Amino acid sequence: MTEEHLEYGCLFCMSGTERILRDLIAAKLPAVSATPAMYERYRTYRGKKRSEQAVFMPGYVFFAADSGVNLDLIHSFPQERGFRALGTDEGDWRLRNRDREFARWLFSYGGLLRFSKAYEEDNWVHFLEGPLLDLEKQVIRVDRRGRAAQIKVSFQGREFVTWLGFEIVEKPENLI
């Protein structure tokens, strides 16, 4: 798939079935890339901190396909599982405007928002790379001790609030 010919869409499903829907798309539509919106987070269990992956937009699975791919099969996915395509009133599944840009941005990270890199200076956290650098204007607050930033993103007129983690690194030489 080439970036210039890609179209982006989104399917809705019951919360908790995002990976099932992703796998169903992979099996029935091999020319389509699909992913739930995932993020990496720290979890403490029995005193040990480890990273894990979690869904940050429950019930949504994004997909990308070349503009010529026939996606009629999507409408035949099991309705009893709550799978349905999001789209316009005219029945077009293609995302538009900010929703399309959000999906394109999500796919640029492969659907998984990993820990960002940041450094501290004068009681401020400065993001160097990763999703938090891109979403700096959507940061609501920063938990420096927990190394996470709370963000708010909008999709289809709905706001999603979550915490994205970051790792502290040394301030780069070129910024000193």
Q: Mind listing the pLDDT tens digit for each residue in 68-124? A: 777 766 666 666 566 777 776 666 778 899 999 999 999 999 999 999 999 998 888
Rounded to the nearest integer, the mean pLDDT of the chain is 87
Reported pTM: 0.86
Query: Do 138 and 72 belong together in one domain?
Result: no
Residues of the domain holding 104? 1-114
Residue 103 and residue 170 in one domain: no
Q: Which residues pair with 55 in a beta bridge?
A: 38
Say if residue 67's pLDDT is above 60: yes
Contacting residues for 61 by C-beta, under 8 A, at least 6 apart: 10, 11, 13, 18, 21, 22, 25, 34, 35, 36
